[in-house]
Amino acid sequence: MIVPYYHVLLFAGILFGLGVICTLTRRNLIMILLGLEIMLNAGALAFIASGLDAGQIEGQAVVIFVLAVAAAEVSLGLALITTIYRQTGTTDPRCIESDTCELE
């Protein structure tokens, strides 16, 4: 016997919320991407817990897709970030298209 299911869910929720905070508050494209990774990770955890709770392997099966999507997203995202950085010299999301960068 481990822990009740919803304890795991709550923990995954905390993790997801941390990811959201990271995405919203950091002025850096890389950090935004990292926040997304944290959120995906929390989601994967919730899937595994639900699989265990239901006694089925289905939950674990989804995790592999989550991982694949995360990998794809990160590689493409990082490629984009490097391109943007080369063109604009910054990774601040506000500076890339708008001219309000210097205001802060």
Contacts to other proteins from residues 1-20, by CB under 8 A? 1-11, 13-15, 17-18, 20
41 binding other proteins? (CB under 8 A): yes
39 binding other proteins? (CB under 8 A): no
Determine the Cα–Cα distance for residues 28 and 32; give it in Å rounded to an integer.
6
Number of residues that bind other proteins (CB under 8 A): 75
Closest CA to 21 of 35, 1, 8, 41: 35
97 binding other proteins? (CB under 8 A): yes
57 binding other proteins? (CB under 8 A): yes
CB burial of residue 42 (10 Å; 0-12, 13-18, 19+): buried
75 binding other proteins? (CB under 8 A): yes
